[in-house]
Amino acid sequence: MKQADDAHHAARIMVVDDDIFLLRAIEQTLVLNSYQVDSFSTASKSLSAVKKTDYAAVITDIKMPGMDGIELLEQLQIIDPELPVIMITGHGDVAMAVSAIQKGAYDFLQKPVDEGAMIASLHRAVEKRQLVLENRKLSRRLQEQRRQRSHFHGMVGNHPVMQQLYDTLLTVAAENDPVMLCGETGTGKELAARAIHEIADRSGKPFVAVNMGAIPAEMIESDLFGHVKGAFTGAVQQKKGKFFYAGDGTLFLDEINSLPIELQGRLLRVLEEKTITPLGSNVPVPVHARIISATNKNLIEEIAKGRFRKDLYFRLKVLPVNIPALEEWRADIPLLVEHFRQEYCHERQQDVEPFDHKTLLSLQKKEWPGNVRELKNYVRRMCIFGSQSGMDEFSQQLDNLRHQGIKQKVALKDFLAQVEKEYLMEILEKNKGQITESYQDLGISRKSIYDKINKYDLDLALFRKPL
């Protein structure tokens, strides 16, 4: 209690009144009550002081020559809308005082001013002001912490756009409703889903990710809901679906727009009834997993084209989260580049020198249609090739392929295959045809690299010949 009183006594009060005798009387009363006081006989002089001094409250007469108390109140609210203003009024000006209250004044006192009433009103006003200032300090502290929050559950970014995303993820993680993550390819939707899972009380439970676009349409139902033995031809044994394995953790349905329209109704029933029925079974099984879906398509357009159910859309999008494209926070590209460089060094137990300012600047100016995923792969190639000249050469090859593809109207599938082939050849050439080093550089399995070598009909002997 003493600490609160001390805080009140340290408060600085502004008093404004053209009546010098009343001004001095109020000043003396406040000083006797241990307040610090600045007195002004005109409203215009007081305004400049407010801009320089942090006042706890203002006491002002309403009727004054020049700028009156109402005008002063309006100006004070522009400078600091939460500064308490106590108005002094004569008996005939009560209506004006009530109008001032409606305009935002904290309180009004009638002349002759009662000292006890004035100190009580001022005491409450100062308490309110101190609460406002404490909230401001807390807000500034939180903003500073957010500015310093460049790494967030596997996500990297210090830009305000990313800070806002982190705050949104914290908010939705506290709930149990379905979340829909919307964003372009490569923006990190799965990372955002994992962040929600880790923040929530499900963090110690399963996180099951399903790429709906990577599962053959005829297998999706069985993959999600499971099946019993004999449910269909080839079902030689019982299979548990992804819903089962997610348990009471999180089920992440990526590329939800790829779910066939005929299965969307079944997923809707699961969300509404919170049970699944494996194929070939009549026994419903309760499900408790939280559903997070993701899409890089405009589902409203998909609904208009008859490819996505409106009722499922609204059921999945209870808590929508937009994942920003890299274009919106490209100022953080140097931070991302350094993160990916360190990630590569840790993974391969190698030392790669940090990239120079010129390189970082060029990466920051470059367009990244594939967003963070494209940038990560680019940085990885830079780490592998070890020289900017080698990287520039590979980049030129990609540019040539891109321009050639646009000119000849090459299908996306064929263009991507050509890029993959060129990159595979670069890696094999760098490692002189050595498979172990090459598949490790590519981040794929030994079987996968042999599959790709066979796919593109590459002769390993050519890469192993001395130059």
Q: What is the pLDDT of residues 342-353, one digit of tens each?
A: 998 888 888 888
Strand arrangement, sheet containing 250-254:
207-211, 250-254, 290-295, 179-182, 319-322
Same domain membership, residue 342 and residue 300: no
Q: 167-171 — which CB contacts under 8 Å span 24+ positions?
A: 168/321, 169/195, 169/196, 169/199, 169/321, 170/199
pLDDT at 253 exceeding the cut of 90: yes
pLDDT at 235 exceeding the cut of 90: no
Report the distance separating Cα 73 and Cα 129, nearest Å. Answer: 16
Report the distance separating Cα 261 and Cα 259, nearest Å. Answer: 6
Question: Of the residues 262, 288, 322, which one is the last residue of a structural domain?
Answer: 322
Residue 395 has a pLDDT of: 61
Same domain membership, residue 297 and residue 159: yes
Residue 432 has a pLDDT of: 79
pLDDT at 390 exceeding the cut of 50: no
SS3 301: helix
**Of 425, 426, 402, residue with least CA distance to 414:** 402
Question: Of the residues 112, 143, 174, which one is the last residue of a structural domain?
Answer: 143
Residue 351 has a pLDDT of: 86
Mean pLDDT, to the nearest integer, of 323-342?
Answer: 94
pLDDT at 7 exceeding the cut of 70: no
Residue 409 has a pLDDT of: 63
Mean pLDDT, to the nearest integer, of 128-135?
Answer: 87
Report the distance separating Cα 193 and Cα 209, nearest Å. Answer: 9
Mean pLDDT, to the nearest integer, of 112-116?
Answer: 90
The residue assigned the tokens 């109207």 is 409
Is the distance from CB of 155 to CB of 199 less than 8 angstroms? no
Same domain membership, residue 333 and residue 310: no
Give me the phi and psi of 15, to 5 degrees please.
-120, 130
Higher pLDDT, 206 or 407: 206
pLDDT at 467 exceeding the cut of 50: no
Same domain membership, residue 172 and residue 130: no
What residues form DSSP beta bridges with 291?
251
Same domain membership, residue 427 and residue 292: no
How do beta strands 12-16 and 36-40 pair? Answer: parallel
Same domain membership, residue 156 and residue 63: no
Same domain membership, residue 385 and residue 282: no
Residue 389 has a pLDDT of: 42
Report the distance separating Cα 269 and Cα 312, nearest Å. Answer: 9
DSSP 402-459: HHHHHHHT--HHHHHHHHHHHHHHHHHHHTTT-HHHHHHHHT--HHHHHHHHHHTT--
Same domain membership, residue 365 and residue 267: no
SS3 456: coil
Whole-structure pTM value: 0.57
Report the distance separating Cα 290 and Cα 212, nearest Å. Answer: 17
The span from the first CA to the last CA of the chain, in angstroms, equals: 85
How do beta strands 250-254 and 290-295 pair? Answer: parallel
Residue 463 has a pLDDT of: 76
pLDDT band at 254 (very low <50, low <70, confident <90, very high): very high
Same domain membership, residue 336 and residue 302: no
Mean pLDDT, to the nearest integer, of 9-17?
Answer: 86
Report the distance separating Cα 106 and Cα 160, nearest Å. Answer: 35
Both structure tokens of 122: 């001022």
In single-letter form, the type of residue at position 111 comes to K
Distance of CA 114 to the CA centre of its chain: 53
Report the distance separating Cα 45 and Cα 40, nearest Å. Answer: 7
DSSP 363-388: HHHS--TTHHHHHHHHHHHHHHH-SH
pLDDT band at 3 (very low <50, low <70, confident <90, very high): very low
Question: Of the residues 117, 143, 169, which one is the last residue of a structural domain?
Answer: 143
- Least confident range of 77-86, 323-332, 412-421: 412-421
Is the distance from CB of 324 to CB of 183 less than 8 angstroms? yes
Residue 196 has a pLDDT of: 96
SS3 274: coil
Average predicted confidence (pLDDT) for the chain: 85
Domain of 278, CATH number, reads: 3.40.50.300
- In the chain, how many domains are there? 3
Same domain membership, residue 387 and residue 245: no
Residue 251 has a pLDDT of: 96
Is the distance from CB of 429 to CB of 394 less than 8 angstroms? no
Measured CA distances, 70 to 3, 49, 88, 106, 453 (Å): 34, 18, 11, 13, 82
Give me the phi and psi of 352, to 5 degrees please.
-120, 125
Same domain membership, residue 336 and residue 299: no
pLDDT at 435 exceeding the cut of 60: yes
Strands (E), 29-182: 36-40, 57-61, 85-89, 107-110, 151-152, 155-156, 179-182
Same domain membership, residue 164 and residue 252: yes
The whole domain housing 251 covers: 151-322
Both structure tokens of 383: 């780490």
In single-letter form, the type of residue at position 299 comes to L
Instruction: Read off the pLDDT of residues 61-79 as tens digits, 9 standing for 90 and up.
Output: 988 888 988 999 999 999 9
Tell me how far apart the 2 most distant CA atoms of the chain are, in Å: 105
